[in-house]
Amino acid sequence: MTIFYTFIFLPLISAMLVPLLYKYFNRIVHTGWFVLLVPSSIFVYLLQYIPGVAAGDTYKYTLSWIPSLDMNIVSYVDGLSLLFGLLISGVGTLVIIYSIFYMSKVREALHNFYIYLLMFMGAMLGLVFSDHLLVLYGFWELTSVSSFLLISYWYERKSSRQGALKALLITVLGGFGMLAGFIMLIMMADTYSIREMIANLDVIQSHALFIPAMLCILLGAFTKSAQFPFGIWLPDAMEAPTPVSSYLHSATMVKAGIYLVARMTPIFGGSSVWFWLVAGIGIITMLYGSLTALRQTDLKAMLAYSTISQLGLIMCLLGVGSLAVYFGPGESGTIFTVATFAALFHLFNHSTFKGSLFMVVGIIDHETGRRDIRYLGGLMQVMPVTFTIALIGGLSMAGLPPFNGFLSKEMFFAAVNDVSQTGIFGLSSIGILFPIIAWVASIFTFVYCMIFVFKTFGGQYRPEKLTRKVHEAPWGMLFSPALLALLVIFIFFFPNVLGKYILTPALTAILPMMPMSPYDLKISAWHGLNMELVMTIGVIVVGLLLFKTTKQWIQTMRSYPQKLTLNHWYNQGLSGTERLSVSLTNRYMTGSLRHYLIYIFSFFVIVLISSLLLLHGLQFDFASNAAISIFDAGLVLGMVIAAGTVLFAGNRIVAIVALGALGYMVSMFFVIFRAPDLALTQMVVETVTTVLFLLCFYHLPKLTKSIERIPFKLTNLVISIAMGLTVTLLALSANGHKLFEPISSFFENAFELAGAKNIVNAILVDFRGFDTMLEISVLVIAGLGVYVFIHQRSKRREQNEIE
């Protein structure tokens, strides 16, 4: 167990060491070489689980965290989590190798870059291996925060800041919805464990909160995986450095939503709502992404929208595959099990060809200074290796043989054809839309892949349009995409190696009710003359025709009105919200302390008095009250006189003395009520504050007649009386509604419970220790802020004197 958590938390631990490595070694060696050891060692460590997981074994590890709240870091290694763990660490290794040659150790703040990257890697690993829902949520939000930092890495650019903000707003909004869904799921199942929930499906699926929990969880998954209409954040995230884009958008962040849907399929799969939302939104996203990719001229933007399209394809397959839960073991269930298998297969394939393509775009940008396809062309002549890698990745994404994308795309066509012939959930009438939309979207995918490859590398070479003298990239930048490209070809010829040891165990984790062995599902490039082959031939023929006639229609696509785009609506909504916020804020943020107190006290009075009246809380019981002695009455009278003196004193010395007297009389009440600890504490506080007031007295301006004379305001009188009356009524009502035994007896045992002879100190330090610690933290932060402001002011004064 210790070894497992050491490797899983290794990125987060290593992130704390990066600043030291950068400070002392970056001039000698690139910091990335040290960071490279982290994902590579994790990848090698996870490889040892493949034989056991392929044989059907699972591994559970528990790290005690907050046992009293049942909050432990419970990790589960099964086929699904292992698949994602290998992608996160494996692609992470290649991305860091690529970044060593892409990111300059002289011009870039590499310590920040690698800290953020390791934070993100650690968050993703924690997410996919978590079995505890709330721990999973914590890592989920850490991915949003770390991706925000990565996207805004070049924070001096306005576009980077805006892209990071958009990604954070959308994904965190979805995360809040997901948290609500998790809480409802926990309430239904009475457990935090995903495994225990799957074992207790009858209770969950019959509960009234089943559909609301499903909708909230899908909101989180759709926002994170850029599903329609939430995918607008993904293209703007391209402002991050290319290694970040390659990592976040091919193998990690956008796949988090895919992982969540796959992990929740045993719980929600089989429901018509789940099927239509997951499969329906997925197929719409695929079409939207492929259409929008055609309108792009920036290579990274084109790949970003292609990622949205490919994620929609995977999501659609997971939705179709969830029908296996509905049918269960049997022929129909087995048919739709293949759809889930295809989703996992394309998930892996997408990581290979999309990771290589993002790195190719980084190479083009690095060597030519351009990413705009209108200025590129003919690069095949000067960058033949880069062209070969781009050709392999592009044709794989287009779904052509002999590349792995062809195999999973054929399985996708088979799945949508199968679902169109299903008689449940209304599919008998409108199910035909699935293969039609899939075929049309695949045509557009084919076309933008051809544009990406041949408009960039084919045609006439125009060096005058480029900002740098072009040459082939160094081997370090070519190594990672070349390795991924080789993997693309290898998987085509040996797909069942991947299927047997990686994909089938992951499928078993998603559909545990379906009995299968590693040999049940075979991947083959040839299935005979069937509808899938006909659809593929149609895609190629129509796609080539559209590609050859690009000049006749592409401008029409690119002239789509900006006002009708989702991005425009987002920007308008955000700016409108900001204007409304500014307008409302300006109405009540007047700069007047009196106005603020009026708002606070009025709200306090209205809410409390209304609650007391509506809940019939105005009931008083004076039977158990103690008798009021002459000392009590005298102290109350003295406190009223002291308070009035503070308000109407014309001299500050008199006001300070009266304020101190008020505090000391409060301490006398504690003496009468036999609370000497509180009395001593109150006297110390009053002494210190009085001395501080007197120390500040020297620096205060003298009172003038205009200040001494306070005008009468009826509003102040009404609110003051209402506030005093409310507090009095609340105290009397609370005293008359003693529903439980007082807790004072518990605190009286402070010595036995905490070993403290001073009950006040025991309450502050032991019983409410976290509260006190946070209060001290706030004071420390405020003090540091004051110190910084004073220090900066002193520095400016010194600079002005020197000048």
Window from 474-483, 705-714, 741-750 with minimum mean pLDDT: 705-714
Residue 50 in 3-state DSSP? helix
pLDDT number for residue 319: 93
Over residues 452-471, mean pLDDT: 85
Window from 179-193, 369-383, 421-435, 615-629 with minimum mean pLDDT: 615-629
39-43, 588-592, 620-624, range with greatest mean pLDDT: 39-43
Over residues 247-273, mean pLDDT: 89
At 45, list the tokens. 């460590």
Over residues 373-399, mean pLDDT: 92
- Nearest residue to 103 via CA among 156, 150, 54: 150
Over residues 406-422, mean pLDDT: 91
Over residues 300-307, mean pLDDT: 92
At 666, list the tokens. 């409060």
Over residues 603-617, mean pLDDT: 87
706 pLDDT higher than 70: no
SS3 of 603-647: HHHHHHHHHHHHCCCCCCCCCCCCCCCHHHHHHHHHHHHHHHHHH
520 pLDDT higher than 80: no
pLDDT number for residue 803: 59
Residue 516: band (very low, low, confident or very high) from pLDDT cuts 50, 70, 90: low
pLDDT digits (tens, 9 = 90+) for 709-741: 556 778 888 998 999 899 888 888 877 676 677
pLDDT number for residue 702: 65
330 pLDDT higher than 90: no
Distance CA 417, CA 427 (A): 11
pLDDT digits (tens, 9 = 90+) for 188-240: 998 889 999 998 888 888 889 999 999 999 999 999 998 989 988 888 888 88
Point out which residues pair with 63 in neighbouring strands. 73
pLDDT digits (tens, 9 = 90+) for 71-101: 788 888 999 999 999 999 999 999 999 999 9
Count of alpha carbons within 13 angstroms of residue 764, beta-carbon side: 10
pLDDT number for residue 519: 41
pLDDT number for residue 709: 55
Let me know if 640 is exposed, middle or buried by CB neighbors in 10 A (0-12, 13-18, 19+).
exposed
Window from 62-66, 203-207, 333-337, 759-763 with minimum mean pLDDT: 759-763
pTM: 0.81
Residue with the bigger pLDDT between 17 and 334: it is 17
Residue 453: band (very low, low, confident or very high) from pLDDT cuts 50, 70, 90: very high
Count of alpha carbons within 13 angstroms of residue 405, beta-carbon side: 24
Distance CA 520, CA 341 (A): 11
316 pLDDT higher than 60: yes
Rama region for 29: left / alpha / beta (φ>0; ψ in -120 to 50; rest): beta
Window from 403-407, 502-506, 727-731 with minimum mean pLDDT: 727-731
518 pLDDT higher than 50: no
426 pLDDT higher than 70: yes
703 pLDDT higher than 80: no
32 pLDDT higher than 50: yes
pLDDT digits (tens, 9 = 90+) for 781-799: 998 988 888 888 877 777 7
* End-to-end Cα distance, the chain: 63
Largest CA distance in the chain: 105
Window from 245-249, 594-598, 798-802 with minimum mean pLDDT: 798-802
pLDDT number for residue 633: 85
Window from 126-130, 360-364, 553-557, 749-753 with minimum mean pLDDT: 749-753
pLDDT digits (tens, 9 = 90+) for 530-563: 888 999 999 999 999 999 998 888 888 777 777 7
pLDDT digits (tens, 9 = 90+) for 480-496: 999 999 999 999 999 99
Over residues 131-155, mean pLDDT: 92
Check whether the bond before 474 is cis (ω within 30° of 0): no
The percentage of the chain sitting over the pLDDT mark of 90, rounded to a whole number, equals: 42
Q: What is the DSSP letter of 502?
A: I
Radius of gyration of the chain (CA): 33
